Chain A
Amino acid sequence: MRHLLSTKDLTKSDAILILDTAAQMAATQEREVRKLPTLRGKTVVNLFFEDSTRTRISFEAAAKRLSADVINFSAKGSSVSKGESLKDTALTLQAMGADAVVVRHWASGAAYQLAHGGWLHGSVLNAGDGTHQHPTQSLLDAFTIRKHLVTSPLGADLNGLTVAIVGDVLHSRVARSNVHLLHTLGAKVVLVAPATLVPVGIDPWPCDVVHTLDEAIESYDIDALMMLRVQRERMTGGGSAFFPSPAEYTRIYGLDGDRLRRLPDHAIVMHPGPMNRGLEISAEAADSPRSVIVEQVANGVAVRMAALYLLLAGEEAAQ
């Protein structure tokens, strides 16, 4: 692996290798000394053109735990606000000797352009590009699902599990990444969304689509229920163009205590964060013992450590 751009590029064995490596990384994070010398002397640049708290902090923590040097770059207050192009920014980072660039961008395909534009020698990790992909998020979701629902997780896939992804699929790079990764790992994926929030051309996606959460709970044995954030900042008209009212969205797609109790006993509740409490998920569901939302954040650091290790260690990365 040279770049991590999309979960569509990952084979099943690639994905399992990342998850297994993440499990070893997670084990090191329970020690007294959590820092490893593995990536000493490597430089990781966090290049963020879009706001983010947990992904940026998570990548920063992951790089620092592996002893890499971290340079944070956010578009606000940088030369980008003076009109610098992605190419010139990339050339600047190359000149500073970046071994890996973690990029978040509002444009779908920005990470691919950065990786294949010939501007950088280092590895590119996609930390979310527009409404396209967010591979490390779906890897941490798969890691969390495997840890909770597979008896001996190391080396295993997700065969036989059913994962329902509920909500704003149209604007969600998390949903796109997860559909492909979970399918590659052998899980069945069910998307639950109003017709207005289902992307055009979804037919070839390897998943089922239903249009109410109640229907999904009744028709499938759901092992993991993943609630998506309603991304109002990406909706022209602030959401009113996609569903009549927040109250109606909550009534049909929101996860509350009642729906939570109708899930199988072992089912877990996930959310990529940040949550709109009271809109797509009630406080009761978010804070229930079956919610693994806080654990997802911890697993995110381990998965990103694994991705950085697999991309940066090894002779190809040494140039």
Chain B
Amino acid sequence: MTGTIMGAADVSRALTRIAHEIVERNDGAADVVLMGIPSRGLPLAHRLAQRIAEIEPGFDAEAATGALDITMYRDDLFKNPTRTIGTTTVPAVGIDDAVVVLVDDVFHTGRTIRAALDAIRDLGRPRAVQLATLVDRGHRELPIRADFVGKNIPTARSERVDVRVEEIDGEDAVVLRKGE
């Protein structure tokens, strides 16, 4: 099955559900900090934060959202062309003793999340780290799992999953493509 797997309405519903799940799992959102992994995890983190703020009025969406660039923690730096380093921003309150929810668009091999866990270790010591992802396409290469998943999409290794978001691509969609 190739083509558009999720449209804008599907993406929106999935994010709303994940926001509720995050609040439910953590008995509220008092200590929750959302860290988006650039590029497309970051706008998703901001949207999740807004939805959590709608559910939990005391939650400050802006103050509890950050960006986590993992380029310098990757394990494939010497197997690919040189990557440009992105910006990491940590909420002013810091992440010590917080519940950090990592937000990414596609959960695949788990290597990005491994790098993110290392990056978080250098920023502080959260009470817990959870993972929210819009799409889980399988093919894990490390023993890492997601806590909140928008949609599980069975894929072949050769296929590509493109997540498109309004803030960067002008539309919300999840598209599955045949591999070349």
Q: Which residues of B contact A310 (CB under 8 A)?
A: 82
Q: Which of B72, B81, B86, B121 has a CB less than 8 Å from the CB of A38?
A: B72
Please tell me if B105 contacts chain A, counting CB pairs below 8 Å: no
Query: Given contacts A31-B123, A32-B124, are A37 and B73 in contact (CB under 8 A)?
Result: yes
- Nearest B residue (CB) for A1: B82
- Contacts A36-B72, A36-B122 known; A17 to B84 CB distance under 8 Å? yes
Query: Closest residue of chain A to B124, judged by CB?
Result: A32
Q: Are B77 and A313 within 8 A (Cβ)?
A: yes
Q: Verify B78–A317 contact, CB threshold 8 A.
A: yes
What CA separation (Å) do A92 and B165 show in the bound complex? 53
Bound-state CA distance A165–B123 (Å) is 40
- Is A24 part of the contact surface with B, judged by Cβ < 8 Å? yes
Known contacts A24-B86, A27-B87; A37 and B72 CB within 8 A of each other: yes
Which residues of chain A in 36-94 are interfacial with respect to chain B, using CB atoms and an 8 Å cutoff? Answer: 36-38, 66
Mark each residue of chain B from 1 to 19: 1 if its CB lies under 8 Å from any CB of chain A, else 0.
Answer: 0000000000000000000
A118 contacts partner chain B, Cβ-Cβ < 8 Å? no
Nearest-CB residue, chain A, relative to B85: A24
- Given contacts A24-B85, A31-B123, whether A314 and B72 have CB atoms under 8 Å apart is no
Question: Quick one: closest A residue to B90, CB to CB?
Answer: A31
Q: Report B93 CB to chain A, min CB distance, Å.
A: 15
Residues from chain A with a CB closer than 8 A to the CB of B77 are: 38, 313-314
Query: A275-319, CB under 8 A of B: which get 1 and which 0?
Result: 000000000000000000000000000000000011001111110
B63-92 contacts to A (CB < 8 Å)? 69, 72-73, 77-88
B162 contacts the other chain (CB 8 A): no
| A33 at interface by CB-CB < 8 Å | yes
Return chain B residues, CB-CB under 8 Å to A309.
72, 82, 85
Residue A126 is within 8 A (CB to CB) of chain B in the complex = no
Contact-residue size bin, chain B (C-beta under 8 Å from the other chain): 20 to 34
Question: Is the pair A24, B87 in contact by a Cβ cutoff of 8 Å?
Answer: yes
CA distance A27 to B122 in the complex (A): 13
Give the size category of A's interface with B.
Answer: 20 to 34
Cβ contact within 8 Å between A21 and B85: yes
What residues of A have a CB within 8 angstroms of the CB of B97 in the complex?
A: none
Near B by CB (< 8 A), chain A positions 3-28 give: 17, 20-21, 24-25, 27-28
Asked, given contacts A37-B72, A38-B77, whether A313 binds B87 with beta carbons under 8 Å apart, the answer is no
**A36 — nearest CB in chain B belongs to which residue?**
B72
In the complex, chain B residues whose CB is within 8 Å of the CB of A318: 78-79
Q: Once bound together, how far apart are the Cα atoms of A315 and B78, in whole Å? A: 5
Residues of chain A contacted by B122 (CB below 8 angstroms):
31, 33, 35-36
B54 in the interface (beta carbon within 8 A): no
**Across-interface contacts of B85 in A (CB, < 8 A):** 20-21, 24-25, 309
B87 touches A37 (CB 8 A): no
**Cα–Cα distance between A209 and B152 once the two chains are bound (Å):** 67
- By a CB distance below 8 angstroms, the chain A residues around B80 are 314-315
Distance of A128 Cα from B69 Cα, bound (Å): 33
Shortest 10 CB-CB distances between A and B: which pairs? A314-B82, A318-B78, A33-B122, A38-B72, A24-B85, A313-B77, A36-B72, A313-B82, A314-B81, A21-B85
New A-B contacts (17) at CB < 8 Å, excluding given A37-B73, A313-B83, A315-B79: A17-B84, A20-B85, A21-B85, A27-B88, A28-B72, A33-B122, A33-B123, A35-B122, A36-B72, A36-B73, A36-B122, A37-B72, A309-B85, A314-B77, A314-B80, A315-B78, A315-B81
B residues sitting closer than 8 Å to A (CB atoms) are 69, 72-73, 77-88, 118, 121-124
**Interface CB pairs A-B, < 8 A, 21:** A17-B84, A21-B85, A24-B69, A24-B86, A33-B122, A36-B72, A36-B73, A36-B122, A37-B73, A38-B72, A38-B73, A309-B72, A310-B82, A313-B83, A314-B78, A315-B78, A315-B79, A315-B80, A316-B81, A317-B78, A318-B78
Contact surface of A with B, Cβ cutoff 8 Å: 17, 20-21, 24-25, 27-28, 31-33, 35-38, 66, 309-310, 313-318
